[in-house]
A and B are shown apart, each in its own frame.
Chain A
Amino acid sequence: MKEYIKNKKDLSHKIKAIYMWWHKPAVDSEFLQSLPNLKVITSSGVGVDHLDLKLISSFGVKVANTPHAVSNPTADMGMALLLASARRIVEGCEIAVSSDTKYFEADWLGEEVTGATLGIIGMGSIGYKVAQRAKAFDMKILYHNRNQRKQEEEQAVGAIYCKKMDDLLQQSDFVMLIVSLTPETHKLIGKRELELMKPTATLINICRGPVVDQDALVHALQNGVIKAAAVDVTYPEPLPRDHPLLKLKNIIITPHIGSATSKSRWVMMENMVENILSGVNGLPLPNEVHP
């Protein structure tokens, strides 16, 4: 971008593709207008909520994401947050190294994961992989999705469909959010939904911050409406340093590292290159995203 901005005249006609890594460079109407030969934009990760798909399409530019590269590490991250929260790992590590620690309290306990109920909201590829992992912990799995999955798929992981999200919220010990951010899922989890959850339940968010009404979450955590939360995503990222979520003891926040493994980043890069080469050569894109 630095080189491009310095030398727009020479470079603007040469640019055929944009490699968007972590939503940058941002793409707006003005930028698109200045790139007459742009054919394809590939965006790292699976979320495309940062892109105005209609606008880009109106310029005849195709868009691709990397859905498969992220599903394993993101599912792993969902389980990592669930376990870390339930077993109080972050707190535990602090106790283990604290200069004040003289002995380990016998009464310091976490929540059992084996046999607990996990409610998965969003049973796409990532949600399904979470279900596969949770099954091995003998968890009871409920799920809510726009559409019910096929019976064989449900049976393979022992997942029970909750047509009404409220049923899932009322029964789950752990609620995990794995939906794409769309106008329909914006603030999907608000005051009402948090109040439907058990007071002993934990909310885990590994998709997008705006899927949760963050102010309602602060209130719920401060008042014991729910027990705890573990979020890899917030809005904005990072949160302002004086945000109330940073001060709460019953939340784990991680800096959007759901797909942050060297292996998946490599695969992402390969996918993006593949999509770019297809786009530039007029071939169908393996991972095209349509508006």
Chain B
Amino acid sequence: MALCGLKACPFFPTKKMEQPELPGLLVNEVGRAYGVLEAHVDFLKKHFHLITMKEFLENKTYFSRKIKAIYLWWHRPVVDRELLQNLPNLKVIANSGVGMDNLDLKLVSGFGVKMANSPHAVSSSTADTGMTLLLASARRIVEASQIAVSPDIECFPGNWMGEEVTGATLGIIGMGNIGYKVALRANAFEMKILYHNRKEEEQAVGAIYCKKIENLLQQSDFVMLVVSLTPETHKLIGKRELELMKPTATLINICRGRIVDQDALVEALQTGVIKAAALDVTYPEPLPRDHPLLKLNNVIITPHLGIKTHKTTRMITEEAVANILAALNGLPMCSEVFPN
């Protein structure tokens, strides 16, 4: 009991030693659309004093100096100049996932703040998502499951068919970590694999390099987009590219919605320029409820579930925590991202 009669007084520590104060970690919220996962909270609290944006905004004076790191989940909280100016002790921002298109890297770096993403955690589950969408689209799984439970069905339609995946040609646009893992999986389905990348990569997976994206588009039965969103890749797939694709081809997008000219895609799907599409990403997410893509029969849309497994989300948080702790202890980070 302190002299002033309070059980615990901030100016006179009690005899029982307090735990050393954990560094403050700013997160958007817990759960809902853009919050860190409930299941990860205990783990985060082992290493950090967790502060939500709401708590921070309600008591900026108290919290602003305590926050040493930010953990972004689904690109939130939004990091702008104002936020950076209010966090004088901020050392590091860890982004969940691999895409960094939500951050102004130069701005953040200008404040002396380091940045990291979590590339190792995401590659397998995103590659799995790519194959899932490819197979689900080719074999018309969503449609089929609706037929199987439809109240109107008396017998299964005899002439109902999908496209064969084994032996088909897959064109991968973007042969980074994720693209490579997609190629490994597709290889086991005896698919012929073409790829287009900024540069040719040494491969053990038998993929054929297409220096010109046009060659890949013209030959592929399935075109899968696995690139980062940059000014160069924005609307990489537009009307011209869609018209180069086979009319029997399917476009699969597992990277960022803005890589595709969405209006051109709608038109291509409506007029049979390409056969079908499977999109885990759109812009915006979710699409407005009256968007034409939602009405088309030949498109599957999934709610950006590329990394959404219990295991991968856990690994992302673990990778982020490791990066943050390294930065706070003056050690190099495994997955530092530099503005370039």
Q: Which A residue's beta carbon lies closest to that of B168? A: A263
Of the residues A109, A136, A246, A252, contact of B313 by C-beta under 8 Å: A109
Q: Which B residue's beta carbon lies closest to that of A134? A: B188
Of the residues A72, A80, A96, contact of B136 by C-beta under 8 Å: A80
Of the residues B36, B153, B161, B164, contact of A241 by C-beta under 8 Å: B153
> Contacts A83-B135, A253-B145, A253-B148; is A106 near B32 (CB within 8 Å)?
yes
Of the residues B73, B148, B153, contact of A106 by C-beta under 8 Å: B73
Q: For the complex formed, measure the closest distance between the CB of B122 and the CB atoms of chain A, giving whole angstroms.
A: 11
Q: Check: B4 CB closer than 8 A to any chain A CB.
A: no
Q: CA–CA, A264 to B190, complex, Å?
A: 15
The answer on a CB contact under 8 Å between A105 and B33 is yes
Q: CA–CA, A110 to B307, complex, Å?
A: 9
Q: For the complex formed, measure the closest distance between the CB of A99 and the CB atoms of chain B, giving whole angstroms.
A: 5
Interface stretch, picked from A11-19, A111-119, A211-219, is A111-119
The answer on a CB contact under 8 Å between A112 and B188 is no
> Contacts A99-B289, A237-B156, A254-B145; is A106 near B301 (CB within 8 Å)?
no
Q: For the complex formed, measure the closest distance between the CB of A19 and the CB atoms of chain B, giving whole angstroms.
A: 14
Contacts of B74 in A (CB 8 A): 106
Chain B interface residue count, CB cutoff 8 Å, equals 69
Q: Check: B139 CB closer than 8 A to any chain A CB.
A: yes
Interface stretch, picked from A55-63, A84-92, A184-192, is A84-92
Contacts of B187 in A (CB 8 A): 136
The answer on a CB contact under 8 Å between A255 and B147 is yes
The answer on a CB contact under 8 Å between A108 and B164 is no
Q: Check: A76 CB closer than 8 A to any chain B CB.
A: yes
Q: CA–CA, A264 to B139, complex, Å?
A: 12
The answer on a CB contact under 8 Å between A72 and B164 is yes
Q: Check: A26 CB closer than 8 A to any chain B CB.
A: no
Q: CA–CA, A268 to B156, complex, Å?
A: 19
Q: For the complex formed, measure the closest distance between the CB of B160 and the CB atoms of chain A, giving whole angstroms.
A: 6
The answer on a CB contact under 8 Å between A80 and B142 is no
Q: Which A residue's beta carbon lies closest to that of B181? A: A114
Contacts of B73 in A (CB 8 A): 106
Q: Which A residue's beta carbon lies closest to that of B139? A: A80
> Contacts A79-B135, A87-B129; is A255 near B31 (CB within 8 Å)?
no
The answer on a CB contact under 8 Å between A115 and B154 is no
Query: Mind listing 10 A-B residue pairs with CB under 8 Å?
Result: A84-B136, A89-B132, A103-B32, A105-B31, A106-B32, A106-B34, A112-B125, A252-B145, A257-B162, A260-B160
B: which residues have CB within 8 A of A?
Answer: 31-39, 73-74, 124-125, 127-129, 131-133, 135-136, 138-142, 144-145, 147-149, 151, 153-158, 160-167, 184-185, 187-190, 285-287, 289, 294, 300-305, 308-313
